[in-house]
């Protein structure tokens, strides 16, 4: 495993982040525990989850699975950087979602209980809250940091200007502010190159791409379909929409001599702004196969061909559309 700092912090995290969204709904608890054990033995020290994962409102199913794994002891908690999220609806009452100070405090306490730990290493806002002022959000986060319940604060699904606003407000309060941004980013979806990546770089945020394989479409979807593998409805829509590009992509991967999944991850890892793509294995084989991307080096010719197949927005704003 390779390690890097999380943004401008001194915290060292693995270059691949273990995503746990499938734990519970797709992967049972026994297999989830086995995957976490294997991931940790392979050098993964960065584990990502969210209070809404498991998709049973208010249950925190995935956090509970992780909590029972941590409770097995053996130094598990001390060896990982544990990230979870707050924002999503956790109940039917009006204050059981969002980023009010009221909900942040309660959601944090409930995540700590489910995860069976006394602190969260990276507490991420799962989405921007358009109805709560930053002064209130930062007051709540500062209190959690003072109490030792949260170490670092991150964002997810923020726009570039929201990252700037958040960190300028934090600076006025002499607070560290955001240290990471978790965004959708992959060869097929490169929109954050316009403003999110420049903003993250300017404010020293680590970038944690989610859906690095575009829901599996960049993992060899055409070849798998030929073998009778069925994809979910979203993946089927992307496959139909981008079939010509995917055919070119999978052909290029064959020329390179690597699997489509390894190429997609290696392309992200080649970006100096990227800290750690999130891989969300459903099986042990998927976990182990992800490691190959760490050894793949895409030369200039391969990068240009990937850009031709999957063109981005044209660079960073405003140069992408003005001068």
What domains are defined for the chain? 3-309 (3.20.20.100)
What pTM, to 2 d.p., does this model score? 0.92
256 within 8 A of 200, measured Cβ to Cβ: no
- Per-residue confidence (pLDDT) for residue 243, from 0 to 100: 87
pLDDT in tens, 228-247: 666 667 777 878 888 889 99
Question: What tokens appear for 111 in the block?
Answer: 């995540």
pLDDT in tens, 43-80: 999 999 999 999 888 799 999 999 999 999 999 999 99
pLDDT in tens, 77-123: 999 999 999 999 998 899 989 999 999 999 999 999 999 999 999 99
- Per-residue confidence (pLDDT) for residue 84, from 0 to 100: 98
**Can 123 be counted among the known catalytic residues?**
no
- Three-state secondary structure string covering the chain: CCEEECCCCCCEEECCEEECCCECCCECHHHHHHHHHHHHHCCCCEEECCCCCCCCCCCCHHHHHHHHHHCCCCCHHHHCEEEEEECCCCCCCCCCCCCCHHHHHHHHHHHHHHHCCCCEEEEEECCCCCCCCHHHHHHHHHHHHHCCCEEEEEEECCCHHHHHHHHHHHHHCCCCCEEEEEEECCCCCCHHHCCHHHHHHHCCCEEEEECCCCCCHHHCHHHHHHCCCCCCHHHHHHHHHCHHHHHHHHHHHHHHCCCHHHHHHHHHHCCCCECCCEECCCCHHHHHHHHHHHHCCCCHHHHHHHHHHCCCCCCCCCCCCCC
276 within 8 A of 3, measured Cβ to Cβ: no
Residue 105 CB partners (closer than 8 Å, separation 6+): 140, 143, 144
Of the residues 3, 53, 152, 321, which is catalytic? 53
Give the whole-number percent of the chain exceeding pLDDT 70.
98
- Per-residue confidence (pLDDT) for residue 241, from 0 to 100: 83
∠273-279-285 over CA atoms, to 5°?
A: 140
- Per-residue confidence (pLDDT) for residue 235, from 0 to 100: 72
∠168-100-138 over CA atoms, to 5°?
A: 30
242 within 8 A of 188, measured Cβ to Cβ: yes
pLDDT in tens, 185-199: 999 999 999 999 999
């Amino acid at each position: 495993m390779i390690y890097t700092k999380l943004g401008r912090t001194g915290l060292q995290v693995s270059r691949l982040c273990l995503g746990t969204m499938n734990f519970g709904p797709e992967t049972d608890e026994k297999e989830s525990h086995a995957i976490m054990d294997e991931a940790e033995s392979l050098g993964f020290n960065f584990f990502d989850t969210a209070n809404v994962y498991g998709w049973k409102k208010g249950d925190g199913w995935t956090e509970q699975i992780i909590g029972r794994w941590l409770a097995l002891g053996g130094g598990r908690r001390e060896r990982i950087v544990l990230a979870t999220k707050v924002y999503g609806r956790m109940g039917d009452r009006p204050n059981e979602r969002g980023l009010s100070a009221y909900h942040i405090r309660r959601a944090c306490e409930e995540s700590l209980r489910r995860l069976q730990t006394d602190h969260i290493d990276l507490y991420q806002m799962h989405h921007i809250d358009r109805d709560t002022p930053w002064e209130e959000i930062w007051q709540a986060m500062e209190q959690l940091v003072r109490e030792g319940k949260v170490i670092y604060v991150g964002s997810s699904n923020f726009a570039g200007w929201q990252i700037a606003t958040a960190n300028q407000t934090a600076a006025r309060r002499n607070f560290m502010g955001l240290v990471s941004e978790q965004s959708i980013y992959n060869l097929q979806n490169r929109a954050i190159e316009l403003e999110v990546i420049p903003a993250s770089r300017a404010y020293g945020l680590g970038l944690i791409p989610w859906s690095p394989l575009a829901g599996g479409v960049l993992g060899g979807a055409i070849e798998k379909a030929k073998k009778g593998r069925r994809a979910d409805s979203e993946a089927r829509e992307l496959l139909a929409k981008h079939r010509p590009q995917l055919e070119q992509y999978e052909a290029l991967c064959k020329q390179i001599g690597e699997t489509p999944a390894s190429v997609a991850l290696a392309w992200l890892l080649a970006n100096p702004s990227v800290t750690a793509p999130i891989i969300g294995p459903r099986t042990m084989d998927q976990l182990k196969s992800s490691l190959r991307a760490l050894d793949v080096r895409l030369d200039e010719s391969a990068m240009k061909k990937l850009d031709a197949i999957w063109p981005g927005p044209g660079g960073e704003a405003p140069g992408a559309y003005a001068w």
